[in-house]
Amino acid sequence: MKTEIIKLKRYSIIWIGIAAMLLVVLLSRYMETAADGTLPTFESFSNSVIWNNFSLFFPATITLMSGYIITRERVNDTLKNILTVPVSFRSLLIGKLITVGLIAIFLGVVSFGLTLFIFLLSHYPGLAAKVLVQSFFQMIGINVCVYLAVLPIIILTSHSANGFMAGVGFAFFYGIVGAFASGHDLTSVYPITAGLGIINYQGEEGSSYNLSLCYLTLIAICLISIVLIAVMGKKSKTPAPLTDKFSNKSLRKH
């Protein structure tokens, strides 16, 4: 994990995540202004950001970032060197996935900061400390929940240098479907929307959730992810033993 976090300093993909969060806030700002002409409160503006983020941007964005980070070792041809440490592919994958989870939390903080900045810049009314705290944790929470929801997709496409792009496309579709699923009493059982219940998201008309089902849905997704890691990350490559005479003589000399 420490190594992966250090590597993030040279990955430009982080800026794509930040740009996506900014785009979500700007889109929400436009939608709130174009809706009916009334000035939104911070709560309604924050809700709009959360909705657009989980349904349009974040599933594909976090899948893209995950795929990029996971496949760097193959693209840069460093995987074979890492596996001779020896480090199993499973351990490498787990470290990268936890790092991406931390990125999801970071992007939630970025999303909140940009939302507050644009809100203050727009001179909207209705800013309260209680709403600020609630929005802060909701934005982080929905990012983590969406990340967990797309985790099986990330793991399934982690073994191919270019395969993760198919996962990005599916994750985008996955999020779009979530916007429709939430309106047909499927919110608590559809993985992408289960996070809405966990963060207690309340839209314009309010929403009711089966909190137990929301948690069970994401727990099931986590269990599926664990099984996939156990099965797909089963290959562990270690250095081949030096069996030839020349190598053995060299080792004895040293």
Q: What's the pLDDT score for residue 122?
A: 85
Whole-number pLDDT of residue 9: 75
Q: How confident is the model at residue 93 (pLDDT cuts 50, 70, 90)?
A: confident
Class of residue 96 by CB neighbours under 10 A (exposed 0-12, middle 13-18, buried 19+): buried
* Mean local confidence (pLDDT), 220-232: 90
Contacts of 28 (CB under 8 A, 6+ apart): 45, 48, 49, 52, 115
Cβ-count burial of 217 within 10 angstroms (0-12 exposed, 13-18 middle, 19+ buried)? buried
CB 70 within 8 A of CB 158: yes
Q: Which one-letter amino acid corresponds to residue 171?
A: A
Percent of the chain predicted with pLDDT > 70: 80
Instruction: Give the global pTM.
Output: 0.83
Annotate 88-122 with DSSP letters as a single string: -HHHHHHHHHHHHHHHHHHHHHHHHHHHHHHHHHH
Single-letter amino acid code for the residue at 230: A
Is the pLDDT score of 95 beyond 50? yes
Give tens-digit pLDDT for 123-179. 887 788 899 999 999 999 999 999 999 999 998 887 766 677 888 899 999 989 888
Which residues, other chains included, contact 83 with Cβ-Cβ below 8 Å and sequence gap of 6+?
Answer: 89, 92, 236, 237, 238
Report which listed range, 7-21, 26-40, 69-83, is most confident. Answer: 7-21
Band of pLDDT at residue 249, cut at 50, 70 and 90: very low
Average pLDDT, the chain: 81
